Amino acid sequence: MKKLRNAGIIGTGSCLPDKIVTNQDMEKIVDTTDEWVKTRTGISERRMTDENTATSDLATVAASRALENAGLGPEEIDLILVATVTPDVMFPSTACIVQDNIGAINAAAFDLEAACSGFLYGLAVAENFIKTGYYKNVLVIGAETLTKLVDFTDRNTCVLFGDGAGAAIVSEVPEGYGILSSYIGADGKGGKLLTVPAGGSRIPSSVESVLNRLHYVKMDGKEVFKFAVKIMGDAAEKALEKCGLDKEDIDFLIPHQANRRIIDASIKRLKMPNEKVYINLDKYGNMSSASVAVAIDEASRKGLLKDGDTIVLVGFGGGLTWGSAVLKWKSIGRD
Ligand code: ACO
């Protein structure tokens, strides 16, 4: 049997809108307090796009930064995967829009929808395209403008989300490095816990759907919370088991950034010291599929990820979905 290649991240980039919306700003919009949001979620502020900026705009900047970081030209990309629940339009895909924007003329392009687990799903797809030798360079992007889909009269959801994009280039890496294992899963029974009911083929957009606010995010926060606390630990352990490692082997944890209390439960279960866990939800809120992607880029650029470190990525999201990966880190950029 032909030996599989090793797939890993060779470049990252991210993009956040300039506009900062603090909890104090949210107090003026909806019946909430800075104290409630901070203690129940850990979020202090989030970023928000303006009316002229769409998901592909953030994705394009993140992608260009990842290309630069990897030292690759856009024509060297074979596939663009955009994980998003907030595409620019129903179709064409946001990935095709990004392909045009960056001039990746040799790339196939498609979107992938796994809500907040989207980037981890994308990484698993890219890993397999590289391992088998089907493609050489895959650009995986997690990009969202969720502030355009949340109902700013619903305090249960509007304080939680923010906009942003993160990108990673997945290519062949030296033996012993890269993605050691990945794990993705879903439970469609929980789909109704987190959904945007209208705008698709079940309830097409209409005056009535808009009046009933059905084109906004609806969430059963308590049920999602219970699911998240369990699945984050389960998924991380499953990915570790798949590559023969244990929680004691983790050097750095990058969890999905939805709620500080969910992250704390994972830290406890995986017995991680706080300083070995990347947290940026205080500044950005939950950026869905962009959360883990932005976190990797920031952690890498801050020099927090060292050559040879075992890094665990883990997340969960609507669907319900979950995903995790174990990486053996190799400094970003080509040798
Ligand atoms: N400000 C003030 N009070 C609020 C707010 C707010 N922003 N939001 C809710 N409350 C109130 C509620 O109305 C409720 O009041 P009541 O008791 O009078 O009815 C009270 O606070 C308690 O509400 P709970 O829902 O019990 O609060 P909880 O501690 O569960 O926290 C939260 C809510 C933060 C939403 C939590 O459940 C959570 O984080 N769930 C997970 C959500 C998540 O991760 N979603 C993203 C999934 S990823 C994706 O795919 C997009």
Residue 288 Cβ inside 6 Å of ligand 1? The answer reads yes
pLDDT of 198 reads: 97
96: annotated active-site residue: no
> What band does 333 get if pLDDT is binned at 50, 70 and 90?
low
pLDDT at 335 over 80: no
pLDDT at 331 over 90: no
**Which is the closest atom of ligand 1 to the Cα of 32?**
1
> What band does 90 get if pLDDT is binned at 50, 70 and 90?
very high
What value does the mean pLDDT take over residues 223-231? 95
Half-sphere exposure of 48 (CA within 13 A, CB side): 20
Two tokens, residue 324: 């995790």
256: annotated active-site residue: yes
Residue 113 Cβ inside 6 Å of ligand 1? The answer reads no
Cis upstream peptide for 74 (omega within 30°): no
Protein residue closest via CA to atom 9 of ligand 1 = 156
The pTM of this model reads 0.96
At residue 310, the 3 state secondary structure works out as: strand
pLDDT of 2 reads: 74
pLDDT at 261 over 60: yes
**Cα dihedral across residues 175, 332, 97, 111: positive or negative:** positive
Distance from the CA of 145 to the center of ligand 1, in angstroms? 21
Residue 222 Cβ inside 6 Å of ligand 1? The answer reads yes
Tell me which DSSP letter residue 202 carries.
S
pLDDT of 284 reads: 98
CATH number, domain 179-328: 3.40.47.10
> What band does 259 get if pLDDT is binned at 50, 70 and 90?
very high
pLDDT at 233 over 50: yes
Whether 179-328 and 7-176 are alike in CATH topology: the answer is yes
| 127 vs 124: CA distance, rounded Å | 5
Site to probe by mutation for ligand 1, drawn from 34, 84, 225 as the one with most ligand atoms within 8 Å of Cβ, is 225
Protein residue closest via CA to atom 31 of ligand 1 = 40
Distance from the CA of 224 to the center of ligand 1, in angstroms? 10
Which H helix or E strand runs over 274?
A: none
What value does the mean pLDDT take over residues 270-290? 96
Cα separations in angstroms, 107 against 140, 197, 204, 293: 12, 33, 32, 21
In tens, the pLDDT along 55-85 reads 999 999 999 999 999 999 999 999 999 999 9
Domain 7-176 falls under CATH 3.40.47.10: yes
Half-sphere exposure of 267 (CA within 13 A, CB side): 18
| 13 vs 68: CA distance, rounded Å | 8
pLDDT at 243 over 70: yes
pLDDT at 334 over 50: no
Residue 147 Cβ inside 6 Å of ligand 1? The answer reads no
> What band does 3 get if pLDDT is binned at 50, 70 and 90?
confident
In tens, the pLDDT along 155-185 reads 999 999 999 999 999 999 999 999 999 999 9
**Domain assignments of the chain as residue spans, ordered by start:** 7-176, 179-328
In tens, the pLDDT along 136-146 reads 999 999 999 99
> What band does 1 get if pLDDT is binned at 50, 70 and 90?
low
Protein residue closest via CA to atom 36 of ligand 1 = 221
pLDDT at 294 over 70: yes
Of 121, 112, 109, 108, the C-alpha closest to 83 is: 112
